[in-house]
Amino acid sequence: MIGRLNHVAIAVPDLAAASAQYRDALGAKVSEPVEEPDHGVTVVFVELPNTKIELLEPLGEASPIAKFLEKSPAGGIHHVCYEVDDIGDAAARLQAKGARVLGDGEPKIGAHGKPVLFLHPKDFNGTLIELEQASAVMAP
């Protein structure tokens, strides 16, 4: 069901500093910051030959990343994102096997402009999983 690894997301307390570290110390191509108010984050993507790293900074005090950084002030891996062909089908199959979809269970548009869902970390060995539809078109 899951396809390729789309990205690994890292929560950071200072997006500008983290971006500079990846760009200047590691020589990576780093995108411009983009605010994602529906998800409560500001993001940049670090482009790698085989995947991406998503750096996340809280956008407001109610951000889930702000809560994450309260527990881990230096930051850390927040989630892993896998691509799926049909996000609705993937959600239904996972729920039938007992996995919990976070939020209202409906896909939201993510930072790549494609539908995404998050799966409860307690159902996946303590790891928050994001599923992203590989194409932008959602199945009916």
E strand or H helix that includes residue 59: none
The answer to whether 101 and 118 are in contact (CB under 8 A) is: yes
54, 57, 130, 132: which is the annotated catalytic residue? 130
57 is catalytic: no
Largest Cα span, the chain: 46
- Give the CA distances from residue 45 to residues 19, 105, 116, 119, in Å, rounded to whole numbers and listed in that order: 9, 26, 16, 22
DSSP assignment letter at 38: T
User: Who's near 138: CB < 8 A, 6+ residues apart?
Assistant: 87, 88, 107, 115
Q: Which residues are catalytic?
A: 130
